[in-house]
Each structure stands twice: as C-alpha cells, then as structure tokens.
Amino acid sequence: MTELTATKEWKEHEKYMREAIRQAKKAYVLTEVPIGCVIVYEGKIIARGYNRRNTDKNTISHAEMNAIRKASKKLGDWRLEGCTMYVTLEPCQMCAGAIVQARVSRVVIGSMNPKAGCAGSVLNLLEMDQFNHQVEVVRGVLEEECSQMLSGFFRELREEKKRKKQLLTGEKQGSIM
C-alpha cells in the first residue's frame, strides 16, 4: 500500500469514526457510558448504535450489539461479511464474540480498553487463529477524541457522586471535617 493510499484510507477511517463519536454523544446525553458504533458496507453506513444498557435495562444493549442487530436486519443476513465496524472503544468479550460470530470483516477502534478490551488489550478474540473467522483490526483512529470523551464522562460521574455525598453528609466543598 502506498503512503497516499494509506493516508486516503486513514481519512476514510476518521470520517466514519466521527460518525461513531456522534453516536457516543447520544449515549452521553442519556448518562450512558459514551460508546458509539457505525457499520459500513460498500461505502455506506448501514447501521448505527450506541450504549443503552441503563436506558433499556438490558445487559447486552452495547453499541456494537445494537449496530450488529440493525446491520443484520438491513442486509437480511446474520453474516456481515464485507462490513467494517467503527467503534469508539475497544470491544468487550461479549461484543468481540458477536463480531466474530457475525463475520464482520474489519473493526476500526478509537480508544483501547486496558480493563476489559478483547481486541488486543486484555485478550484478542478478534484475531485468534483458533476461530473459524478472524477480523482485521485497525487501532487508534481519533484515539485522543474518543479517550477524552470517556475520561470526561467518568470524571463527571465521580464529581457528581462526590457532590451527592457532600449533600448527604453536610460537608462543604473543600472543607475538611
């Protein structure tokens, strides 16, 4: 691959990752962990998803799972061969398993997940030779933007928890009791 081709391909990855980030922002507004996903087939977005676990009261309502369900319906097939998934955070074990089962061809990841990632951080389920399908993985697309959204979200959650605790205990911000 030439440098020009690589640059053009990287710009395309960034374009679709921005769409995944837009999905993550929908989760953010719902006070869900801001993870977003889009699935692209033949140059077109065929499915979008974002985290809705708390909203749906459903353990499997992750961005990737929601997008896979929509893409399968759109294509009329559970096999998503030829599809590329763009996701703002490295998939967990459940989502990585679903990606392999759905035969997604490529996954483009924004930010890695050192605590629960299964595309290279903790495990690498997507590229295991032992499975009948391996997924091409591209890492680090708009990594800074994806990481900042997540760290900002969790910082806000911690601050909110601290404010609530202070209200309950009668502590003033910054005072030592």
| Residues recognised as catalytic | 64
CB atoms within 10 A of CB 22: 14
Helix/strand/coil (H/E/C) assignment for every residue in 23-42: HHHHHHHCCCCCCEEEEEEC
Alpha helices in 63-142, H assignment, sequence order = 63-75, 93-101
Both tokens of residue 21?
């980030």
Beta carbons within 8 Å of 47's beta carbon, 6+ residues apart = 38, 39, 67, 68, 69, 70, 71, 74
3-state SS, residue 46: strand
